[in-house]
Chains A and B, each alone.
Chain A
Amino acid sequence: MAFVAEPLAKLIAEFNKLPGIGPKSAQRLAYHLLRSSEEEARALAEAILAVKEKVKLCSVCFNTTDCDPCSICRDTQRDHSKICVVEKPSDVIPLERTGKFRGTYHVLHGTINPNKGIGPEDLKIRELLSRLQNGIVSEVIIATSPNVESETTALYLQQIIKPLRIRVTRLARGLPFGAELEYADDLTLGQALENRQEF
């Protein structure tokens, strides 16, 4: 890009590497930053650096945190007998937003994917099992996404946790709010019918 100043071209190229950002969006973001004040640009740069320098994984639940153990694992008001198992750190956010769960989490950092050669040893499953040995945990809630890889992970977890005599539950399946019944797939609709509740 000889017609664009070298630092600007470099910024565009860096933005372009981000997920969901194409060349046009990268260009738009770079020009926006160029127009914005120096404080704004510095704040963004510092925020990016801080993420890389300060954010690490919690040694208990493996969620992203800036202090170890994370605020959820340290919270004595939370129910430590319940562990909600999720695939990735970003899955904790929507579950916390519901305000319905006061237990703790465990982040697997992926799912078992036989066709890609990702097995249990590539995930934080061994760490989950060692958490379950302390005798405090009475329930493990499997909150994996409803797809084939996550289903494999959930079934595998169920198989290895059941012998420990710990209750294994999973999130209910059903229709999302605002969805149209006409377009619901048979699997979801079938499970919504099976798990119907008293009204």
Chain B
Amino acid sequence: MNTSRTYQVEGVILKQARLGENDRILTVFTSELGKLRVVAKGACSPRSKFTGNVEPLTHAVMLLAKGRNLDILTQSQTINNFLDLKKDLWRLACGLYVLELVDSFTIEGSESRPLFTSLLEILNELNAAANSEIALRYFELRLLRYAGYRPQLQRCAICDQPLRPELNFFEPSKGGIVCPHCYSRENPKARYPVSVEALKVFRLWQSCDYATAKRIKLKSNLSTELDHVLHGHISYLLGKELKSRLWLQRLKKELLSKERTATVNQGVC
């Protein structure tokens, strides 16, 4: 029997909150034990050995000591602090959205190595300035799968008939796509039409690895459609709107209007 009071985990810090004057409570998603809450004593002091190692969006190896309620962080060695991601407003917002997604879909102490690997994969991709739209949608699909909400994309979620290459509909309460026939008969609340193209992309992403997924070239309207459908499903499952997503949407709007202004100005010149 292991009687050691300390143990080591590898994890990504999802969020932190202040505890008293100088301490912090960290929520960490670890590869070994799933989501954990630990206390970093003295982490708010500028001379703390943890400064910089306990910020969200940090991948680190941590030595924890068993505490009465929450375990205590005793040592932390950063593996990757995703510095490039943190230097870019858009990518930083994407990273925070990913962290909130993981935090919302996981419960403490429930281990999920594949989700941990996927989390590291997307953070590395965002850090390397990959196409953030593809990376986010692919990660959302992976997350749904590992959380037990893999959408049904092959057959109608109501009549179980194979889906035809036509405009279908995504029904969050049924956990997948429903055919136009069932959609009109059942009159569900679904507001998510899924084009043939979008369904093809979803099916491919559900079965392929990220290296294959990122080869797809998404047109703007298809990207919006995929985002719309997945967002509908996620907010239905969580029963709430993720706050970081609102920030992401706001930034997207601002960046688009900025691009439009730049294009108009170029045209004037």
Residues on A close to B: CB < 8 A? 19-20, 112, 114-117, 119, 146-148, 151-152, 155-156, 159, 176, 178-179, 183-188, 190
The answer to whether B243 touches A115 (Cβ under 8 A) is yes
Given A119-B247, A152-B92, A20 contacting B20 (CB threshold 8 A)? yes
- Tier of interface size on chain B: 20 to 34
Given A117-B246, A146-B52, A187-B81, A152 contacting B97 (CB threshold 8 A)? no
Among residues of A, the one whose C-beta sits closest to the C-beta of B76 is A185
Chain B residue contacts of A179, Cβ below 8 A = 46-47
Chain B residue contacts of A156, Cβ below 8 A = 89
Query: B48: shortest Cβ distance to chain A, in Å?
Result: 8
Asked if B51 is at the interface (CB within 8 A of a chain A CB), the reply is: yes
The contact string, 1 if C-beta is below 8 Å from chain A, for chain B 203-245, is 0000000000000000000000000000000000000000110
Query: B229: shortest Cβ distance to chain A, in Å?
Result: 23
The answer to whether A115 touches B55 (Cβ under 8 A) is no
Other A-B pairs beyond A114-B247, A185-B50, 10, CB < 8 Å: A114-B100, A117-B243, A146-B52, A147-B55, A148-B57, A183-B49, A185-B51, A185-B53, A187-B52, A190-B83
Chain A residue contacts of B39, Cβ below 8 A = none
How far is B51's CA from A186's CA once the two chains are assembled, in angstroms? Answer: 10
16 CB-based A-B contacts, threshold 8 Å: A19-B21, A114-B244, A115-B15, A119-B246, A148-B56, A148-B86, A152-B92, A176-B46, A178-B47, A179-B47, A184-B52, A185-B51, A185-B81, A186-B52, A187-B81, A187-B83
The count of A-to-B residue pairs whose CB atoms sit within 8 angstroms is 68
Q: Report the 4 A-B pairs with minimum CB-CB distance, sorted nearest first.
A: A185-B52, A114-B247, A183-B49, A117-B243
Query: A158: shortest Cβ distance to chain B, in Å?
Result: 8
| Chain A CB within 10 Å, residue with most, of B50, B55, B56, B99 | B55
The answer to whether A115 touches B93 (Cβ under 8 A) is no
| Chain B CB within 10 Å, residue with most, of A20, A176, A179, A186 | A186
Given A185-B51, A187-B81, A116 contacting B57 (CB threshold 8 A)? no
Chain B residue contacts of A19, Cβ below 8 A = 21
Query: B102: shortest Cβ distance to chain A, in Å?
Result: 12
How far is B56's CA from A190's CA once the two chains are assembled, in angstroms? Answer: 18
How far is B57's CA from A176's CA once the two chains are assembled, in angstroms? Answer: 23
How far is B80's CA from A187's CA once the two chains are assembled, in angstroms? Answer: 9
